Amino acid sequence: MRSSSKSLQDGKVKGETTPVSVLFAVSEIYPWVKTGGLADVACYLPQALREIGMDVRVVVPAYRSLMAQIHDYRVCTETRLPEAGIRYRLLEIMLPDSQVPVYLVDIPELYDRPGGPYTDPGGTEWPDNALRYAQFCRVIVAMTLNQAGLHWHPDLLHCNDWHTGLAPALLKAGGSNQPVVFTIHNLAYQGNFPYEIFRLLRLPAGFWSSESMEFYGSMSFIKGGLVYADRLITVSPSYALEITTPEYGNSMDGLLVHRQETLSGILNGVDYRHWDPRHDPFIWHHYWTDSLDIRRLNKLELQEELGLDRNPDAVLLSHISRLTGQKGIDLILYGLTDLLPDRNVQMVVLGTGESVYETGLLTAASARLGQVAVCMYFNEGLAHRIQASADILLMPSRFEPCGLTQLYALRYGNIPVVCTTGGLADTIIDVNEQTLSAGTASGFRFPDPTTSSLVTAFRRALDMCRSPGPGWHNLLRSAMQKDFSWNNSARRYAVLYDELVRVSPSRPAVQSHRTIPSDPGPVPGW
């Protein structure tokens, strides 16, 4: 029997599913190109789905930085997008250590450039991002409809975040009944562009409508996914509820309330083949719940690596994140005096972001030499070593769709202190007498994204960490044995895919009576 959508909400997977083929469309993928957790999801979820029998294939733009890392790709096809007048190649390579094919959309004039996937080397967004991801979406649609020369097409299209939001709109407006899933990884990033860009992209006139992709006088890529996809998924159940409110909905809450019956949350997961202190190749000393004393040796090694005072008894705080207001780095900066009450508390920060926060952290590090280490870059190996060495993870996010850092931290015994929001609320069980007794506690939660609330929760964690007796080690053992495997998430996605493939979508494509010129001419400067 086919499982109901409610089973996705309450975490129960019932019945059997039939393996389906899926095109997983995404703008970044680990290990080749990564700006955040989306890249991890694009790497690990398709692998988990493959392992339960799904034919999942990933498509991603062929950025210069990605192409510089690969050499054994196969050219599948070279063809043209008729409506865009642009040629592209599809290259195929296998995701490392997996059976997951990855298709690279090779359009040199759009993707062969320095910098990151979305920004130039100086951190400024590429001015033609709308064009870059509109053409990517057109290729996604061609692949879905078996018009890209692959002689393969999926049973279902799975799109992720605003960069792929135009694909469901183009697919459905073109009359296709192909099932589409759209995952919202962060609603704050919407891909909004002015009307002039909408005209230059030569999109269907009907898209410029409040019932379609028009959004307060702009075109919104993410709204294409929210309006046209058959099912909307967030990366945690709590975030699925939060984004239907004005506080978290980023002005999309009305639409999401309207589509609430199609909206649910599936937690992201962890690939424990890559994130486990028992065999992690990035850390110095392997350990587990029965050898926690060895963990202290990693702390000494990290202190040496980062120039912190060498002190095995110091309580080491960590923050691994983009340095933005969403992540609450300002709360950490404002509370620094209380978070570092003496020289026996140290802190390490890994990440880049807004210049005001980078400057504040560098100032703090220079004023507290040997006590604060700030690493203004991202290094995968260092992230692993911090998780294996730190005692407390500070994660005071104002909102957090899911969060992966706290899931990695649990496995390594780096106890999270988190604001009770989104995926943090779904994954961290607060320390209290009942949860400690039951062996379910995994961290310290606080209700409001304020410095005072963060400091109060931190003091609870610090007091417990410094207290004699088995309490802290018992908490570490409880946290480290939590299971957030991608296997669990993949089974829920499999049920969802099975539902959609078995039942053809009946919702008609949205149309509009507004008209605009269908061929505005060439795109100047693009």
Burial class, 491, CB count within 10 angstroms (exposed 0-12 / middle 13-18 / buried 19+): middle
3-state secondary structure of 313: coil
Full 3-state SS string of 401-468: CCCCHHHHHHHHCCEEEEECCHHHHHHCCECCHHHHHHCCCCEEEECCCCHHHHHHHHHHHHHHHHCC
Q: What is the pTM of this model?
A: 0.89
Q: What is the dihedral of CA 71, 76, 79, 84, to 10 degrees?
A: -70
What region does 400 belong to: left with phi over 0, alpha with psi -120 to 50, or beta?
Answer: beta
Cβ-based neighbours of 282, under 8 Å, separated by 6 or more:
380, 381, 384, 385
The residues pairing with 316 across neighbouring beta strands, listed in sequence order, are 346
Q: What is the mean pLDDT of each run of 10 residues along the chain (526 residues)?
A: 38 58 97 92 97 96 97 93 85 96 97 95 94 97 95 96 98 95 97 96 95 97 98 98 97 97 97 96 98 97 98 97 95 98 97 94 97 93 98 97 96 98 98 95 97 98 94 96 95 96 57 34 40
**Distance (Å, whole) CA 402 – CA 427:** 9
Start-end of H helices in 250-354: 253-258, 295-306, 329-334, 336-339
Angle between helices 471-480 and 451-466 (to 10 degrees): 110
The distance between the two most distant Cα atoms of the chain, rounded to a whole number of Å, is 74
Q: Do domains 20-269+487-502 and 292-480 have the same CATH topology?
A: yes
Start-end of H helices in 467-485: 471-480
State the number of CA atoms in the 13 A half-sphere of 230 facing the CB: 25
Domain ranges of the chain: 20-269+487-502, 292-480
| CA-angle at 250, arms to 248 and 251, nearest 5° | 120
- Residue pair 45/33 in contact (Cβ under 8 Å)? The answer is no
Class for the domain spanning 20-269+487-502: alpha beta
- Residue pair 54/501 in contact (Cβ under 8 Å)? The answer is no
- Residue pair 64/208 in contact (Cβ under 8 Å)? The answer is no
**What's residue 82's pLDDT?**
77
**What's residue 521's pLDDT?**
42
Q: What is the dihedral of CA 258, 259, 261, 264, to 10 degrees?
A: -130
**Distance (Å, whole) CA 478 – CA 459:** 20
| CA-angle at 214, arms to 83 and 155, nearest 5° | 55
- Reading the block at residue 89, the tokens are 């190649």
The residues pairing with 37 across neighbouring beta strands, listed in sequence order, are none
* Selection from 215, 233, 232 nearest residue 223 by Cα: 215
**Distance (Å, whole) CA 322 – CA 224:** 27
Cβ-based neighbours of 180, under 8 Å, separated by 6 or more:
156, 157, 158, 159, 167, 168, 171, 172, 228, 229, 230, 231, 505
* DSSP state letter for 372: E
Tally: H helices and E strands in the chain: 21, 18
Task: Assess if CATH 3.40.50.2000 describes domain 292-480.
Answer: yes
